[in-house]
Amino acid sequence: MRAFEFVNPETEPVAAELAVTTPTAVGESTPEEAEAPGFAGIIGRHRRMQAVFDVISRVAGTNATVLITGESGTGKELVAQAIHTRSRRRLQRLVPVHCGAIPEDLLESEMFGHERGAFTGAICSRIGRFRLADGGTIFLDEIGDMSPKLQVKLLRVLENGMFEPVGGVTTQCVDVRIIAATNRNLEEAVADRRFREDLYYRLRVVPVEMPTLRERREDIPLLVEWFLGHLHTVKGLQRFEITDDALGVLSAYHWPGNVRELKNLLEQLVVLGDADRVIRPESLPPQLRGGGRVSATGGWTTPPWDFDQQGIDFYREMASIEDRIIARALHISRGNKKEAARLLHLNRTTLLEKLKRKREAAGMVTQGEPNWAALTPLAVTPTSETSEDFRLPS
């Protein structure tokens, strides 16, 4: 029996990959998920992802409203799906509504339905997404694009589950769990009076922040291996392998499109790949081969970041650049911190202090030998001066 049914009207197609089988009990994983390198079909082992998985496990069995934030392509819809399939509502529908893809004058009708004659072209009555999701879950994607008028109506549904269809006078009542998502900064939108403050706090009962792919670079090899296997077993494409050098290029790229961009790139490489079925650095697009790599003079050949009008977190990006530079110096020095400090024109104690702070910020505990593979995409042989675990956060 299917866990849920995605409503798929012509105005909003939904990816078929999101369909999964229902666990037999709330919070229980399927055998396939138990073998997956992640949680609930979401791939990742980075500490930020582990925190997301923990929130999913805790909130799934409740009816709490969830607000998922993060850049496009980070997997917000997968989180909504994971919460629904582990909830007591899993046998009912998960109904997605992409608030940014539906024209504003049609969104109210899509969400709440309309009566016959409510507007030009309304030749018959139609139920809305909230009625379709009754007993289940509704996923409001890109909630930050919703108009102030609809925000008021949504607030009422959150408060008491009641609404009127467009052109209707009869109040309808539904039992729906609401999961919302956005790639916008809603706190700024509230400050600019573009988003209602009361609605923001109603939605943000349980916040989930999805990290960007560049914030969890150590998951890139895992994602690459998973997607290459998925393309072979699910889509029937040839099974490709990837060289360490090509994997290093992918790990250094800034990925403005996040996991979605990586997935689509790998499919392109497999479909258009060579007969030997191996992905090499020269197989990759030029913008990846140049992006974020260090030149012989120590500068960046191209900027290792990218951003649009929404901007970036300056300090986080600068910390990421520092991480990669230190990791490069440690790779060249084969783990010798004194030599790495010389390459960076730093005092050895300064470098050690930086490594200590980064380790503490990442929540790492010194234990045994360091994970040298995490420093760079290339293998490093530890030396006698490597007793401390200073693996850098991705």
Q: Is the pTM of this model over 0.85?
A: no
Q: Angle 225-230-234 (CA atoms, 0-180°, nearest 5)?
A: 165
CATH of range 318-374; options 1.20.120, 1.10.3470, 2.30.30, 1.10.10: 1.10.10
- pLDDT band, very low/low/confident/very high, at 230 (cuts 50, 70, 90): very high
CATH 3.40.50.300-classified regions of the chain = 16-209
Per residue in 337-369, pLDDT (tens digit) is: 888 898 999 888 889 888 888 777 665 444 443
CATH 1.10.8.60-classified regions of the chain = 213-290
% of the chain exceeding 90 in pLDDT: 49
Rounded CA-CA distance 337/115 in Å is: 72
* pLDDT at site 136: 96
**Residues near 156 by Cβ (< 8 Å), separated by ≥ 6?**
162, 163
CATH 1.10.10-classified regions of the chain = 318-374
359's tokens: 């380790």
* pLDDT at site 383: 40
**Residues near 191 by Cβ (< 8 Å), separated by ≥ 6?**
none
Note the CATH number of domain 213-290: 1.10.8.60
- pLDDT band, very low/low/confident/very high, at 311 (cuts 50, 70, 90): low
Query: Which pairing describes strands 278-279 and 137-141: parallel, antiparallel, or unpaired?
Result: unpaired
- DSSP for 179-224? EEEESS-HHHHHHTTSS-HHHHHHHTTEEEEPPPGGGGGGGHHHHH
Per residue in 195-213, pLDDT (tens digit) is: 999 999 999 999 999 999 9
More confident residue, 235 or 308: 235
* pLDDT at site 144: 93
- In words, the CATH class of domain 16-209 is alpha beta
